[in-house]
A and B are shown apart, each in its own frame.
Chain A
Amino acid sequence: MADLVSHPDEVKVVSKRFGQGAVNIDRYLELDGYKAVQKALTMQPDEIINLVKNSGLRGRGGAGFNTGLKWSFVPKQSAKPKYILCNGDESEPGTCKDRLIFEHDPHAIIEGVMIAGLAVGAQTGYIYVRGEYRYLLEIVQKAIADAYAKGFLGKNIFDSGKTFDIYWHGGAGAYEVGEESALMESLEGKRGIPRIRPPFPAVVGLWGGPTVINNAETLASVPHILLGGAEWYANLGSPKNGGTRLFCLSGNLNKPGVYELPMGYSLKKMIYEVGGGIPNGRKLKGVVPGGSSVAILTADEVNADVAMDFDAMLKAGSMLGSGGVVVLDDTACIVNFALRTIKFYKHESCGWCIPCREGTDWLQKTLIRFHSGGGVKKDIDNMYYLAENMLGRTFCPLGDAAAMPVIAFVKKFRQEFEDHLDGKPCPFAKHSGAQQSPVMA
């Protein structure tokens, strides 16, 4: 179980109950638990949707889509049952926030699922937990059972005459299954390969029914929005980026950990103040601001002071992604870091489409040879080419996720690649593996 950290700049919303024993349903009730869903029961579905829309809550799974807007796409009438899916597959390297919610505040997720259900007219929810988070499954199972025992789930919830059921499901260890459509395949007992869109899940989703799929953190934020109001939540963050989010600080930092900060918080401050700066007086080399799938920012780009919200990050040429902030100091070898990154994507490519499946493999083989001194000049361009060949051209965004970091590494740190050429030993070889490639740590 992870240690909790804190910083005065934090604004605790989702993490409000962390460390308060809220896994216990009675304790959760004392901490305003299940009030939001009861409030939602008194509201019209459209009211709930508008509230969430206006709060500026954007998906915490990575893409940052406005949550209320997503809910509004679900058709009112449907021949097939509708479903709410909680995406707890959290597998993006550098990302470790959903697990804290599961560990400390599972009922908030349950409540969020229920509210989403009331908003779109679904009666069934699924909580899908990453395979490697097996220890969290027990917590989720118990939380669901407790909620049933109290009559919060099942038939006639809170005497409303309404029915709502929640099931849990454990993953089997594939990153790709965090992708929403692959997750649905997995949940249906099939291979974890993605589906084509359109049709979008809101129309044809799980078991062919209209489905809302949201990240665990997104859903856990919803009860707070219901109680605190849209305006309150929106004002916590920056324009069009409502609220706060859990940032997972890792890499070469003095105080790594998960911190809840307002959307739009300064990346520089996040590193030097919240994260306690870089150990041993080392200099910053770069930051991967949104999980391993996004373009790295150089020290200069970080020092230009970018705000950590979806729009500002996009403008800065990267993405806010899943909230995983990985910091590299000047002992890190970018080639090795690229290798470590691509190893992950090669390993996790689902094998459905060619550019990703073969591209990641070719990239990995090239990088292994390259980093061990066998690189030739054309490799650099070829890596760039392979990544470009994936970008926007694969079946699902995993290909983009593998391509974007590689393109940025080559573009922004070409010199470092060239320093590895002609059989030269890795210039960073004297540093330990963990330093060279912090994600591995």
Chain B
Amino acid sequence: MATIYVDGKPHQVDAQQNLLHACLTLGFNLPYFCWHPALGSVGACRQCAVKQFRSPEDKHGRLVMACMTPASEGAQISIADPEAVAFRKGIIEGMMENHPHDCPVCDEGGECHLQDMTVMTGHDYRRYEFPKRTFRNQYLGPFVNHEMNRCIQCYRCVRFYREYAGGQDFNVFGIRNLAYFGRHEDGVLESEFAGNLDEVCPTGVFTDATHKHHYTRKWDMQFAPSICVHCGLGCNISPGERYGMLRRIVNRYHGDINGYFLCDRGRYGYEFVNSEQRIRQPQIRSNGQIQPVPKQQAIEEGGRFIASATTVIGIGSSRASLESNFALRMAVGANHFFAGASTQELQLLHLTLEILRTTPVASLRDVEDSDAVLVLGEDVSNYAPRMALSLRQSVRQQPFAMTDKLKIPRWLDHAVREAAQEHKGPLFMATVAATRLDDVATDTYRGAPDEIARLGYAVARTLDPEAAGLRATTASGSLAGQIVRAVRAVTGLGKPPSGAPDADFETMAQRIAQALNGAERPLVISGLGCRSGPVLKAAANVVRALQRNGKPARIALAVPECNSLGLAMLGAKPFEEALAVAREHSGTTAIMLENDLYRQAPGSDVDVFLRSANHLIALDHLQNRTTATAELTFPAATFAESDGTLVNNEGRAQRFFQALTPQEIQESWRWLRDIFVAAGRREFSAWKTLDDVIQSLVSEFPDLAQVAEAAPAASFRMAGEKIPRQPHRYSGRTAMLANINVSEPKPPDDPDSSLSYSMEGNPDQPPAALIPFAWAGGWNSYQAWNKFQEEIAGPLRGGNPGVRLFQPPAQAGEYFQDAPKRFQPREGEWLVVPLYHVFGSEELSILSPGVKQLSPKPYIAMNDEHAKGAGLQAEDMVELAIGGASYRAALQIRPDLPVGIAGVPVGVDLFAGIQLPAWSKIERVS
């Protein structure tokens, strides 16, 4: 800590930080542009100038850039100094020279940092009398809109896109006041983090192109604190509603997870909520016709289906809330509560849970701070996209240690980068195919899942011979020999069949082990991406070996969906067992909760299952193949329309809240309650609010006891008031429904949360889990997050939202022993593995037009040697057969795929329900 004096008053600040960071943390309103809490300082805009005095006697002082000046002990500065004030005003004047002043037609208007800073500096009169420069705008794809004339040339975009996110197809061109920020030519931005430009740009150059189609000003939207449902990481989001429509998603700061950034799947996947395919009313199918039915009738019909059934089968969902899944489980009983997922996937999820319970788990913030990383089997960029952005920062940790020695403060971004140059910390990527993180990897290894697992086992055994079940004997020499033998026992000597590129397996394992062991905060990343138990076990073993070596090692595991772990924790059983029950019993009723079974299991099995059931009830958001077979369909609320809890990949329970209040649509747990009450199960009528369900859940599952603490209960009040979902400038409330009824309706009541559907309520900062949107006096843009944090870029006041369900264990867990055998390619057959696409592999986002546009066409991929051997060429129509179904698609040549391996893009319709990995022939069809 250091004491600095701001306009004569002493303050305690972090001495490692710069003056801007310090002043903002202290709550001062000091304007800035080029500095960004996650990007550091570069001194380009000169907006943050303050007067610095050498001593109390120094009356003259000199202007310094606060963001470029360390908050050193005894620093004396003045924000209010007239020269500083005048200079800052002059800077804005300079920026506004060429800015088009088109706020009324600009999407940024009302949440524009440039507007805020202009007001803050007091620049209110335009003296510049000359023509403005103009630029041509570019088409940048379905997500990001470009309007270059508004640019104030703060360089944030290019720094984020290239330096932070590693994108290559975006840059700054030209010099002087003609610097142009865009692509070398029109085209879709390649980075899956491009959407962050919307928030990174302090003005309206980059705005949300999807929002443009149904634009609403920030101040006119109703927000709710929410959680992204498009992968298992649980990034925090802030959905905005008006006129019953979901307008957009923006980032909701979470200091341990997403920080300031989201991936584009999370930001733009929301449009499925507004889809034409939405089920908006209960439907009944009779005589092959699907017809809407009134709510009460549907509930009663559902009740009859339940009451008359011999057995009720409930299929839960890894994309439904804990509460809805729990309600289903309570209704159908533990024995008849299933997941749509296969035995294999559930086993992997339980293995994941076991590992999470017995291993220190990394949050995304920890991933970012790790200084040596081994990735086993995971295509992070496509499977858990936001994690890739954190991982990209991790390679900066070791260079930081080097620049620390040169006394370059870490926030002095360009100086750090100039000193570090190409130097990167260790990141080893062992994956089945190439990844978009390979460019920052120290080393990459491509192999079959079993080979990847073997590499992990070898690393663990190199780190600790006990990982191979060995005990230290007397002479250390003989121990060393044992280690070598142990490692060889897993690796085999020489090149593995899939071929490590430059060195053999053994030395690679040694190099990885050395890098991890030499690090201060080593990390292993794995997950369900390559659907391999051995890979998960190998990852855990490496962490355990590091722990036994005294290292504070951590693990991060990626899971398929937003509530995969929650579902597994509720003890859902695999689909295969559901199928068996359906076959064995006649007169069953099956309830499918937010689950399109055809995407989970082989089509023929699903057909059998659905046919075996006597009655089918589906609850879902959109029409799909499963709902099409149901007799009764209930419109289930999406994340934007409901409250609930999700458990993310770290085992963190987080609550999301309702932003939209649609008429006929309600949370699945409410539908289930109503149906079961109608079926005579009166006890469920006790569930009036979300908190009632949570209370039952907590008493039923001690494991999940902390779920209640994920957010304050609905009874929570701030000084007796609720928390407004609407900004205080929300307009038109009295008029918006006047065409229907001139008297303003009462805003809906919200029994489930302490948030109100109103702009009225307590204006103070709510608890972190209940912040619907970022706004603070004078700060209308996202930069207002500054005002909600304990320290800039640190945790939100009162702690980041959510609760971790697993506590870090006191000591390292036991090793897994069963290293897999070497992968043996087969003659004439391929091991078909899943390949993931950030746009295309996730069920809900793919229903949004922009994501759909960027999704791949179906393909079957193999490497070129293979294709040549089999006499195949790119674009040949080929076929593979798995689980009794055959799949036809064009052949794609992927030189990065290992020998014996083929890949298909999972998630695209053609491959729905395919169970991978699996062996198959691949043959040309005419």
Footprint of B on A, CB under 8 Å? 174, 176, 184, 191-192, 195-196, 198-199, 203-204, 207-208, 346-355, 357-362, 365-366, 369, 382, 385, 389, 392-395
Cα-based distance from A358 to B90 in the complex (angstroms): 10
Chain A residues near B43 (CB, 8 Å)? 196, 353, 395
CB distance from B28 to the nearest CB of A (A): 21
The residue among B172, B418, B419 with the most chain A CB atoms within 10 A of its own CB is B418
With A353-B44, A361-B176 already in contact, the answer to whether A199 and B91 are too (CB < 8 A) is: no
The proximity string for B residues 408-447 relative to A, scoring 1 for CB distances below 8 Å and 0 otherwise, is 1000101100111101000000000000000000000000
Closest-by-CB residue of B relative to A389 is B90
Cα-based distance from A361 to B175 in the complex (angstroms): 12
Instruction: Say whether B419 contacts A351, CB under 8 Å.
Output: no
Closest-by-CB residue of B relative to A205 is B418
With A195-B418, A349-B177 already in contact, the answer to whether A354 and B45 are too (CB < 8 A) is: yes
Instruction: Say whether B415 contacts A357, CB under 8 Å.
Output: no
In the assembled complex, B909 has its CB within 8 A of some CB on chain A = no
In the assembled complex, B701 has its CB within 8 A of some CB on chain A = no
The residue among A184, A204, A392 with the most chain B CB atoms within 10 A of its own CB is A204
Chain B residues near A203 (CB, 8 Å)? 406
Give the B interface residue count (CB, 8 A): 41
Instruction: Say whether A361 contacts B406, CB under 8 Å.
Output: no
Instruction: Say whether A199 contacts B177, CB under 8 Å.
Output: no
In the assembled complex, B873 has its CB within 8 A of some CB on chain A = no
Selected contact of B49 from candidates A192, A207, A393, CB within 8 Å: A393
The proximity string for B residues 155-188 relative to A, scoring 1 for CB distances below 8 Å and 0 otherwise, is 1000000000000000010111111000000000
Tally of A-B Cβ pairs under 8 angstroms: 107
Chain B residues near A366 (CB, 8 Å)? 130
Chain A residues near B174 (CB, 8 Å)? 351
In the assembled complex, B252 has its CB within 8 A of some CB on chain A = no
With A196-B43, A358-B98, A359-B94 already in contact, the answer to whether A393 and B87 are too (CB < 8 A) is: yes
Instruction: Say whether A346 contacts B415, CB under 8 Å.
Output: no
Selected contact of A357 from candidates B47, B128, B177, B407, CB within 8 Å: B177
Instruction: Say whether B91 contacts A208, CB under 8 Å.
Output: no
Instruction: Say whether B127 contacts A382, CB under 8 Å.
Output: yes
Instruction: Say whether A362 contacts B130, CB under 8 Å.
Output: yes
CB distance from B101 to the nearest CB of A (A): 15
Instruction: Say whether A357 contacts B153, CB under 8 Å.
Output: yes
The proximity string for B residues 14-57 relative to A, scoring 1 for CB distances below 8 Å and 0 otherwise, is 00000000000000000000000000001111110100000000
Selected contact of A199 from candidates B63, B94, B179, B406, CB within 8 Å: B406
Instruction: Say whether A354 contacts B91, CB under 8 Å.
Output: yes
Q: What are 15 inter-chain pairs, A to B, with CB distance below 8 A? A: A195-B414, A195-B415, A196-B412, A199-B418, A207-B421, A346-B176, A348-B176, A351-B175, A351-B178, A354-B45, A358-B94, A359-B94, A361-B98, A362-B94, A366-B130
Instruction: Say whether B177 contacts A361, CB under 8 Å.
Output: yes
Closest-by-CB residue of B relative to A185 is B418
Instruction: Say whether A395 contacts B44, CB under 8 Å.
Output: yes
Other 16 A-B pairs with CB < 8 A, given A352-B44, A355-B94, A358-B94: A195-B414, A196-B43, A199-B407, A204-B415, A204-B419, A208-B420, A354-B47, A355-B46, A358-B95, A359-B94, A360-B176, A361-B176, A362-B94, A362-B128, A392-B63, A393-B87
Cα-based distance from A289 to B174 in the complex (angstroms): 32
Chain B residues near A394 (CB, 8 Å)? 46
Closest-by-CB residue of A relative to B154 is A354
Cα-based distance from A279 to B406 in the complex (angstroms): 57
The residue among A176, A192, A195, A357 with the most chain B CB atoms within 10 A of its own CB is A357
The proximity string for B residues 63-94 relative to A, scoring 1 for CB distances below 8 Å and 0 otherwise, is 10000100000000000000000010011001
Chain A residues near B178 (CB, 8 Å)? 351
CB distance from B409 to the nearest CB of A (A): 10
Closest-by-CB residue of A relative to B45 is A354
With A354-B153, A358-B98, A395-B43 already in contact, the answer to whether A347 and B419 are too (CB < 8 A) is: no
With A196-B43, A196-B415, A199-B415 already in contact, the answer to whether A362 and B97 are too (CB < 8 A) is: yes
The residue among A361, A385, A394 with the most chain B CB atoms within 10 A of its own CB is A361
With A393-B46, A393-B87 already in contact, the answer to whether A349 and B176 are too (CB < 8 A) is: yes
Chain B residues near A191 (CB, 8 Å)? 172
Cα-based distance from A114 to B107 in the complex (angstroms): 58
Cα-based distance from A270 to B123 in the complex (angstroms): 49
CB distance from A258 to the nearest CB of B (A): 30
CB distance from B78 to the nearest CB of A (A): 16
